[in-house]
Amino acid sequence: MTREEIKNILPHREPMLLVDEAEVREDGKAYGSYTVRGDEYFLQGHFPGNPIVPGVIQCEMAAQTCCVLLGEKLKGKTPLFSGINKVKFKTPVRPGDKIDFECQLLREVTPFFFAECKASVGGKVCFTGELSFAVI
C-alpha cells in the first residue's frame, strides 16, 4: 500500500508518518519501507556532517509498520508505545538509505499488542527488537 493508503489505517501524518509503503503478506507479517531523503527534521543536528537516523526514529518506523497489521482495529483509535525491549542497533542508517522492515505480532492482550521487528538496509540488518503498544 502507498502512503495515502497507509493513512487510511494509521492516524500519523507528516512529518511523523515514517512509512513510505507497506503490505501484509500471506505469512502474516507486515513489510514496510522508508527511504531517508536527508532533509528530515530528525537529522537536523544528528549529527552535523555525519547524519544518522536516530534509534528512536527507527523504533517509530518499525512500530508504524507493525500497526499496518492491525487494520480495522485502529479505526478511531491511537496506538501508543508501551514498551521497547531487546532492541539492538547494528548498522547506522544514513541519508539515501532505504530501510526495510519485517514485523510480526507475537501476542495480543487487548488493548496491548506485542511484536517482533527487524530492519535492514541493502540486506544488512540494522535494527532488531520487540515492541509493545496499546491501542486506545
In tens, the pLDDT along 121-130 reads 999 999 999 9
- Average pLDDT over the chain reads 97
Helix or strand run (H / E) with residue 120 = strand 112-121
pTM, two decimal places: 0.96
pLDDT category at 9 given cuts 50, 70, 90 is very high
In the chain, the number of structural domains is 1
Q: CA neighbours within 13 Å on the CB side: how many for 47?
A: 5
Q: Is 46 a catalytic residue?
A: yes
Residue 70's CATH number: 3.10.129.10
Its domain, for residue 14, covers 3-135
Instruction: Please give the average per-residue pLDDT across 14-22, as a whole number.
Output: 97
Task: Name the active-site residue from 1, 17, 40, 46.
Answer: 46
The CA distance from 4 to 123, in Å, is 26
Q: Find where cell 496506538 sits.
A: 79
For residue 43, what pLDDT is reported? Answer: 98
The CA distance from 115 to 84, in Å, is 10
